[in-house]
Amino acid sequence: MKKLLIATSALVALTGAASAEVALTGDGRMGLVWDGENAQFSSRARVKFNLSGETDSGLSFGGSFRVDQENYNNEIDEGGNSNESNRSAARGTAGSVYISGTFGKLSMGDVVSAAEAAIGDLTELGYTSGEFAANPEEIDFLTGDGENEEQGPTALYEYTFNGVNLFASMTDGSRRDCGAGNVTYGTLGCYEFDEDDDTDVAFSLAAGYEFGAYNVALAYSENGDGREIVIGGTAAINEFKIKGFYADYDDRDLGQLGDFEFDFDDNADTFEVDYDRAYGLSVEYAMANGVGIQGLWIRREVEILEAFADGAEDAYDAYGIGASYDLGAGATLAGAIIKNEIFADNETRADVGIKFQF
C-alpha cells in the first residue's frame, strides 16, 4: 500500500513538473587534434538547462542555457569591449528565454540574428565540430552571435505559415557603460545616458520558403554603418544534403575573420581591411549503416585598406572533409581534415575522436 502511494505521488510530481519544469541535457567529447605540428588531447563535458512551461491559455514559454554560459562575475577587455567569455544567462548575455503561441515565437537574450535563424551555418566537421580549425563552417553574420553584446540582450521574432518562415531580430540601440564596479553589459545598472543616442539599433530581417526537400532564405541586416545581404539554400536529395550561401557586406570593417585574428602570412601586424563578401558550400552524405561523409568549402573576400595596397583584394579559402559513424544512443565517432587559410602558418589541421549527446 505504501508503495502504491509512493508511486502515485511520484507520478504526480512528474506530471506537475511537466507543466513548468527544468530538464537537463548534456554533451561531451574526447579525442585528438592535430594542430599542424603536434597532436593534442582535447576533451570537454557540458550540461544544458532546458526550462519549459505552458500558461492556462495555452502559450508556451521557457528558456535554456548551459552551465558554461553562466559566468556571473565576468569582465570586460582592457579596450572596453566584451569578449566571448563574458556571458551570463542571469544577466541576459547568454542563453535565452521565449514565449510562443499562435502569434509566433518571441525570444530574448543571446539569440541568433534573423539572418542566422533563417539560413544557419554550413555543416560541422570532425568530433570538435569544426572548432579545431577555427570553425570555418560558421557564416560571419553581421548581427547577433556575439556581434552586438555591448547593447545587451537581442530580441528575435519568428513566424511560420504555409512553408514561409519570417524572422526579425533587433537590439535596443542603447549602448551600456559598465565601469569597474559594474562590469557586465546586460545588467540593469550600467546605462550610459550621454552616449546612448550615438548608437543605432542593430537589426536583421529574413524570410525563408520550404517546398518539399528544398529550402531557400534571404536576409538583410544593419549594424552601425555595416550592411549585410545573405542568401542561402538547402537541398535534401536522397542520402545527400547540400547547403550553400552567398553573403555581401557593405562598410564592414574587420579586425578578425572566424575565431582567429586576421593576419597576413609572416607579418605580425594586422592590416585594416573591408570584409566584402563570403560564399560557400557544404555536402553531407548519410548512409543507412550510420556512416556519414561531409565536405565543406568557404571563401572570404576582403579589400586591403592600407595605402600601399591601393585597395587590393584578397581571398581566404577554407575547405575540408570529414567522416562520422553513429554508435547509437548519442555516441558518434568522427574525424576531419581542414585547411583554413586564415591561419598565419597556413597549416592543415585534423581531428579524430568520439562525441556524446546525453
| 224 belongs to the binding site for a second copy (CB under 8 A) | no
Determine the Cα–Cα distance for residues 8 and 3; give it in Å rounded to an integer.
9
| Grid cell for residue 21 | 519544469
Q: What is the footprint of a second copy within residues 94-113 (CB under 8 A)?
A: 95-99, 106, 108-109
Nearest to a second copy of 85, 160 (CB atom): 85
What is the nearest approach in angstroms of a second copy to the Cβ of residue 180? Answer: 7
Determine the Cα–Cα distance for residues 309 and 311; give it in Å rounded to an integer.
6
Nearest to a second copy of 99, 218 (CB atom): 99
Q: Which stretch binds a second copy (CB under 8 A): 38-46, 204-212, 246-254, 265-273?
A: 38-46
Q: Let me know how long the chain is.
A: 358
- CA proximity to 110, closest of 52, 154, 175: 154
Nearest to a second copy of 77, 251 (CB atom): 77
Nearest to a second copy of 41, 211 (CB atom): 41
Q: Given phi > 0 = left and psi -120 to 50 = alpha, else beta, which region is 329?
A: left
Q: How far, rounded to the nearest angstrom, does the alpha carbon of residue 358 sit from its chain's CA centroid? A: 20
Q: What is the footprint of a second copy within residues 174-213 (CB under 8 A)?
A: 174, 180-181, 183, 188-189, 191, 193, 196
Q: Which stretch binds a second copy (CB under 8 A): 166-174, 243-251, 278-286, 299-307?
A: 166-174
Determine the Cα–Cα distance for residues 47 and 65; give it in Å rounded to an integer.
9
Site map for a second copy, 42-81, x if CB under 8 A? xxxxxx-x-xxxxxxx-x-xxxxxxxxxxxxxxx-xx---
Going through the chain in order, the beta strands assigned E by DSSP cover 20-34, 39-54, 60-66, 96-101, 104-109, 154-161, 164-170, 203-211, 214-223, 226-237, 240-250, 253-254, 256-257, 260-261, 273-286, 291-304, 313-328, 331-340, 348-357
Nearest to a second copy of 101, 233 (CB atom): 101
Q: What is the footprint of a second copy within residues 293-352 (CB under 8 A)?
A: 327-331, 345
Nearest to a second copy of 80, 212 (CB atom): 80
| 132 belongs to the binding site for a second copy (CB under 8 A) | yes
Q: What share of the chain is helix, strand, coil (3-state, %, to 5)?
A: 10, 50, 35
What is the nearest approach in angstroms of a second copy to the Cβ of residue 221? Answer: 17
Which of 120, 136, 152, 292 is close enough to bind a second copy by CB under 8 A?
152
Helix (H) / strand (E) element for 138: namely: none
Please tell me the count of residues contacting a second copy according to CB under 8 A.
Answer: 110
Nearest to a second copy of 19, 160 (CB atom): 19
Nearest to a second copy of 7, 164 (CB atom): 7
Q: Which stretch binds a second copy (CB under 8 A): 165-173, 232-240, 267-275, 315-323?
A: 165-173
| 86 belongs to the binding site for a second copy (CB under 8 A) | yes
Which of 116, 121, 124, 131 is close enough to bind a second copy by CB under 8 A?
131
Spatial contact of 126 and 351, defined as CB atoms under 8 Å apart: yes
Site map for a second copy, 4-23, x if CB under 8 A? --xx--xx-xxx--xxxxx-
Report the 10 Å Cβ neighbour count for 155.
Answer: 16
What is the nearest approach in angstroms of a second copy to the Cβ of residue 218? Answer: 25
Determine the Cα–Cα distance for residues 142 and 205; give it in Å rounded to an integer.
12
Nearest to a second copy of 200, 248 (CB atom): 200
| Grid cell for residue 299 | 571563401
What is the nearest approach in angstroms of a second copy to the Cβ of residue 237? Answer: 28
Amino acid at site 112: V
- CA proximity to 216, closest of 239, 187, 251, 243: 243
Amino acid at site 3: K
| 268 belongs to the binding site for a second copy (CB under 8 A) | no
Amino acid at site 86: N
What is the nearest approach in angstroms of a second copy to the Cβ of residue 307? Answer: 27
